[in-house]
A and B are shown apart, each in its own frame.
Chain A
Amino acid sequence: CNEQDLFDLNVDPNAVTEMDPQYLFSLSMLRIAGEYENTRANMLYSATMIQHTSSLAGYFSGDKYFYNAQYSGAYMERHYTDVIRAFAVVIDQTKDNPAEANVNAAATVLNIFDLHRMTDLYGDIPYFQAGRGLESEENWFPQYDNQRDIYNDMVIQLRAARDKFSASARSLGAQDFMYGGNIDKWKRFTNALLMRIAMRMSNVDAAKAREVFIEANNSGTFTSNADNGYIKFTVGPIGVNRNGLNDGYWNTYKYSNDCKISKTFIDWMKANNDPRLMIISGGIGTPADPSTWVTDPAAQRGMPNGYNSTTIRTILTGADLDDFNARGNRMFSMLNLKYLDWEDPYILITYAETELMKAEAAVKGWISTDANTHFSNGVAAAINSWTAFDASFARTADQVNTYIAGRGFAAASNADKLRLIGEEYWAATWLNDIESWSNWRRTGYPALTPTQDPNRFEANEIPRRLRYWESEIGANPQNYEAARSRMGGDNLMTKVWWDGGN
């Protein structure tokens, strides 16, 4: 028999051996918003830890400080294989090709975005060898890199990528679901990410933080909500076409039947006459049945964090207890379904955040522009940004200005300014709860009262990180163990480097 005839059987007639790197880039971008890990790391843990949302159901583990291995490890479990590895291939294949400079730079930026999120969630993580198994055997069992080294390298990578975007290289065009190939916006996004990274370091390496922040600011970042880092989604037809977080909250799994807006957040909005109250809240009632929704702002009521349906009775009395016995958690304000559509954008970084960060930098004296202006811009942008989700979310300039004025930023002391910035950052990062939680860990704002559940995993304290994906204990034991001992444990209360840990 002819040997080649036999060999030809092993050439797959239905696959290609080369693929446009832009196509790989595009899929990885969408997968940042994957349902599995976003419902777990973001919805179940971060949003409840940061007291944006609250639930009586035990599987919402974050505000009762339970440890659920699968929820805790989910982001790590999915993103190295779903996101990072394809970015690594794109970056490698295009690194020496000037014509592909834009896909190379954009892939680098989103790769760093995702790894940054992961190091903030877990601390030391595989970074330098991440997703690079194809390249060499040495990368099959990646080392866990020290978070400080990761931070230093992220800055280097982002600056190089930012300077690589080129008008003469091939445009990303329709392959770019964030900016449609607009490289100016990509540069601004890169600087916004650098500012986020800089701020995160501010408590442990202030000099470096300042230098990175100023450089990024000078290079130019977001100037309006039109620059917001939003990944655009559609109604389908398959999972990757859809906003995964919203797939979990409402459209497929309907987990938001089991969670409500936190009392902490509702009370804060009410106290400040926040015009977002009826954006954030969809009213009180049964989510699936609009006829039951009570949308009177005054009637809105948040669910206290840290209770289950038995223990919550101990704090409800009289009519409230009767109401609870009759309606259960439906007596509390629910999430607004208008921002939970499949086709709603998925938020990476917004103009509101960059302005609030600038306000903080100005208060700290890093930059000379007016903190008050930045604060006002940031808060206004945060409120106005909701029109990207639903036109009915528009608020008048008067409403916005009245609210901002009511915050009393200009007259506040520097310390109080930092509090106000922190609170507004918290309000501005609704739905982007991983970021919200990270910023809280850094600033301590807003001031949150930990809950008291006797079944808590380690302590009645808001966790400082998530525990690693447990699979790594078995699959990569030596490097896991090295990271665990270097960080002083693999616990929810172990602090990451920028939070004062090792």
Chain B
Amino acid sequence: QTRVLTGKVVDSAGEPIPGVNVLDRIANTGTTTDLDGNYSISVTSNSVLVFSFIGFKDQEFLVGNQSSINVTLAEDVSDLSEVVVTSFGMEKDKKALGFSVTQVGGERFTESRAINVGNALSGKIAGVNVTPPATGAGGSTRVVIRGGSSLTGNDQPLYVVNGMPIESGNLGSAGMWGGNDAGDGLAAINPDDIESISVLKGNAAAALYGARAANGVILITTKSGKARKGIGVALNSNVTFDNVWDFTDYQRSYGPGRDGVVATTAGEALEIGQTHWGSRYGNQNVIQFDGVSRPYQHTGEGLNDFYRTGTTLNNSVALSGGNETGTYRLAYSRLDNKDIMPNAGFNRDVLNVNINSKLKRLTLDFSAQYTKQLAKNRPRLSDSPGNANFAIMTKPGTLPLDVMKGTTDKLGALEDGNELRFQQNVFQTNPYWAAYQFFREDLTNRILGKVSLRYDITDWLYIMGRAGTDFQARTDHSYTPWGTAFKPRGDYFTNKTNIREDNLDLFIGAQKQFGDFSVDALIGGNRMRRGTEVLSGGGNDLVIPFVHSLRNVAAPQVGYGFNEWGINSVFGYANLGYKNMLFLNLTARQDQFSTLYAAGSSSFDPANTKLFYPSVGTSFVFSDAFTLPQFFTFGKVRASYGETGGGAPSPYLLNLTYGLVGSGHLGGFLGQINNGSIPNANLQPYRSKEYEFGFDLRFFENKVGLDVAYYNRRTSGDILPLGISATSGFGSTLVNIGEMENKGIELLLNVVVLQKRDFKWDISFNYANNRAKVLDLGTNAKGEPIEFINLDESRLRRERIRHIVGQPLGMIAGFKHLTIDGQKVYDDQGLPVPTNGLETIAEGRHPISGGILNNLSYKNWRMSFLIDFRSGGHLVSGTNYFAYVYGLHGETLNGRENGLTVSGVTRNGEARTWNIPANPGNPAEFLIDNYYSNYALITENIVYDASFGKLREFSLGYTFPSTILNKTPFTSASLSFVGRDLFLLWSNVPNIDPESAYTTSGNAQGLEFFASPTTRNFGFNLNLNF
């Protein structure tokens, strides 16, 4: 006898749970709960109802004669059917995966928020190494997973939003000659829109995204609507403040001067500039560059007297809702940032729409994001032209900032409107002139869109098509103002850049259960096209003074750049399961690259453009197979092997081409060779092979969890821009050489330290040790093995970042102090003698990284803090170089009074002691300045261990209790105090932040040269829902 039974399913907080499966185990009939958690089902008195929902413990009830069963589902701590997002945005049960994937919920990105999502990953995931932006809010972040796959090619991961790849690359960065960080594609993502981020670290995990995923994949899933009654409104307001972190510890005993004496004329003061080899600070007045005598005392002004407090305001509102057939979410956010660099800032508007609809067998998924970003005056870095950081970090101690501002409203200018110079090097720009008179602005309009349509042919077979696009249109305006010392007539440039990436996917998939076996398989294809188009105008030399306009350029030039490339791919995977405890994952893919086509070359082989690679993985949940002790909650072992590859170069590099220059000369035409690198028609994609083992163990009802992975990846035949001698006419050539290895362990330990009533404290510790090693670099034209290749150098031009066979990637090479039998060699005056050639000095990258995250909660309070650390890497410090040369470095106090005694050997190896004299006023007997200048020319003296630990994130939050909220329209509300980069816990680098770098692009890391100072950040976050 059947009858209808009804009820309501709620969670432990009393909130209804929609979508709970209600199954009559006896009759094999079922239903699901509606939006309010209600259900009704036909039952008999013999029926056994099973209530199940992901993340909750199943509950069973014998119906008997009950007419209503209300159920409270408890959250499941033992069932680890943890759902993670993997390739193609598909949700998979984590235990079925044979590879490493780490997922972080969106709330981790919105509290102590970093504006750039990449930066927010810092310290959170084992094996993910993040370099923070070299400049503030709009700057780009460098993320490297497991040390990357390529020696010199891109080693940053692919970013995928809702299943479709996006442009995430660096759009320009400072190099040895200066420039600015032009931001990266990640800046367009608003942390409030993120539902979760999954990081796929290994080859097997990434195989389905193809060659571009060879460095791992970061999958971002944006929030979607949830079925509910009415419209849900979520408001978030975040305000944070940035303060410059002043690490300078310069000497403040001796002031500007030369050979121990101070300037006596204005011209001399101008020549002396920042050189602090004068006399001891005292009470006398000394003439300065402008002819005014001022006290010969340190002004006491530091970095914070020039930089301002940066502020960032990020407000967002999201509307969401839906029913059984469809959900939606609509969100808007606005970010206003004022940078620490005066007159610089970043604004961002993001409008995000997400619509899901299910009509019988058809599922439509649509998401779109429109972003508008405006970056103003991105600070110049590295070499000094227009770099305010350089001037302010080396400013003469006695010179008040007010004097550098000048006397007019135009900051940094003389009364005639030209740059006010306080020292004679035209390339070292007045910081106020650099900040206020230089101009640069870029506006980006960007659309990220995806639509996917899935049709379920049967209940186990489906076909799915997807189209996605990422299109950005960017306009850059910049000018060097009229009157700038190094460019008196100024310049004006405008660039319009369009970047697009389109992806089309079509695949057929099947999911079916055969008794104890389950199959989840898919085959499909992808067509990817990318292109960049740049139209630029402008030129040097303005006509009318101080009129900064494209129309005022004396002889404007027009430039046009265009490139396009594509990849065609076919792929498939199959996941086979047995009894939901033993799994096998298989994948295969073939990519074909347009950029490996060498037009017109007789030695070109089309097979070189293709790359086929498979992967296999297995996972065994032994805790389901065997009976384990009570405390052993869960256990899984996994193993995988995967191949991938890539490294296809930029378009057109395989062909030698020519172009015309300017508009000719005196009636003649001017032609050039376009290539800076020697083309090679025989390039092939590189290959990387990786195996990985790991286990995931949980104990004591999940109070302790340990996840460990070991991986070993070898990359061979890498495509390298082999640095060759420029006397060959070219600086590099592309070749397939080299073999490298990345191996390491990653460890994640979660411990619930304390859980008592209202109090909970858990710690999550992650640690990774990646040992990257160059195994082979091929042979040169003579057949001799190549010992090293050069990557990059800083403006000091006395060091190289190098890959050296048998050493870790990215070693720092430079001059060492020449020694004979271990004794340091000095020249006839007692000045240090460098080695004749470059020597290997230290490792540039950190092999070790990790983080310790603490979460504490008590009733409505919660607190979390993240300690982030790196270890083992080094940097070459350009700032410390100049600190020695200019006599600012604290160590230059040694020997100022009575000279310095050094002991060593002469060039002939004879032991000797020298006195480096410091007799003020006699240039022949004041050589202490020469000593420190020569000391700094020995690269090893300015290479530092860059290991550090930082309190990266801190937050203290309060969730308002419902007893208070009941009287308000809000359903939930929380307020938190948040902070980032609050304390440097340990560091060995003087005067600068050990994380300081002027570029986050490229593989040559470990170079430091007057980047923007790093900041401490703190603020408040308010979250309201109704």
Contact = CB atoms under 8 A, between A and B. Distances in A.
B658 A131 contact: no
A133 B671 contact: no
B267 A473 contact: no
Contacts of B555: 236-238
B911 interface: no
A472 B793 CA distance: 13
Nearest to B663: A237
Interface in A120-161: 125-126, 129-134, 136-142
Contacts of A19: 658, 671
Contact of A85 (B562, B658, B730, B733): B730
Nearest to A468: B727
- Give the interface centre of A23, A77, A125 by most chain B CB atoms within 10 Å: A23
Interface stretch (B190-198, B258-266, B407-415, B766-774): B258-266
Contacts of A238: 539-540, 555, 557, 661-662
B728 interface: yes
B657 A17 contact: yes
Contact of B790 (A13, A311, A474): A474
Contacts of B529: 9
Given A329-B267, A454-B923, A454-B927, A20 B728 contact: no
A239 B487 CA distance: 13
Interface stretch (B701-709, B718-726, B872-880, B890-898): B718-726
B656 interface: yes
A241 B662 contact: yes
Contact of B730 (A11, A126, A134, A177): A134
Contacts of B564: 9
B726 A10 contact: no
Given A18-B658, A26-B671, A236-B554, A140 B728 contact: yes
Nearest to B800: A474
Interface in B905-952: 923-927, 930
Contacts of B606: 3, 7
Contact of B267 (A26, A177, A309): A309
B923 A57 contact: no
B782 interface: yes
- Give the interface centre of B539, B564, B730 by most chain A CB atoms within 10 Å: B730
A455 to B, nearest CB: 6
Contacts of A329: 267
B724 A133 contact: yes
A175 interface: yes
A20 B671 contact: yes
Interface residues of B, number: 96
A310 B259 contact: yes
Interface stretch (B26-34, B83-91, B299-307, B647-655): B647-655
Interface stretch (A45-53, A252-260, A362-370): A252-260
Contacts of B487: 252
B657 A10 contact: no
- Give the interface centre of B598, B676, B726 by most chain A CB atoms within 10 Å: B726
Interface string B538-573: 011100000000000011110011111110100000
B729 A9 contact: no
Contacts of A176: 668
Given A126-B727, A476-B727, A137 B265 contact: no
A475 interface: yes
Interface in A34-62: 56-59
A406 B813 CA distance: 60
Contact of B733 (A12, A140, A253, A477): A140
Given A3-B606, A309-B265, A137 B780 contact: yes
Contact of B669 (A26, A84, A241): A26
B837 A481 contact: yes
B756 interface: no
Interface residues of A, number: 95
Interface in B655-696: 655-663, 665-674, 676, 678
A176 B668 CA distance: 8
A267 interface: no
Interface stretch (B49-57, B163-171, B589-597): B589-597
A133 B728 contact: yes
Nearest to A134: B678
Nearest to A76: B727
A176 B665 CA distance: 10
Given A140-B781, A237-B555, A126 B725 contact: yes
B58 interface: no
A239 B556 CA distance: 13
Contacts of B294: none
A3 B592 contact: yes
A288 to B, nearest CB: 10
B539 A237 contact: yes
Contacts of B780: 137, 140-141
Interface of B: 258-259, 261, 264-268, 271, 424-426, 486-489, 527, 529, 539-541, 554-557, 560-566, 568, 592, 594-600, 606, 609, 651-652, 654-663, 665-674, 676, 678, 722-731, 733, 780-782, 790, 793, 797-798, 800, 813, 836-838, 923-927, 930
Interface of A: 1, 3, 6-20, 22-24, 26-27, 30, 56-59, 69-70, 76-77, 80-81, 84-86, 88-89, 125-126, 129-134, 136-142, 173-177, 232, 234, 236-241, 252-254, 258, 308-311, 313, 324-325, 328-329, 453-455, 470-477, 479-481, 484, 490
20 contacts: A9-B595, A10-B595, A12-B651, A18-B658, A23-B668, A23-B670, A23-B671, A24-B672, A27-B670, A30-B670, A80-B727, A84-B729, A130-B729, A174-B667, A238-B539, A241-B662, A309-B267, A310-B264, A310-B923, A455-B930
**Closest A-B pairs by Cβ, 9 of them:** A237-B555, A85-B729, A23-B671, A133-B728, A328-B267, A19-B658, A15-B657, A137-B781, A476-B725
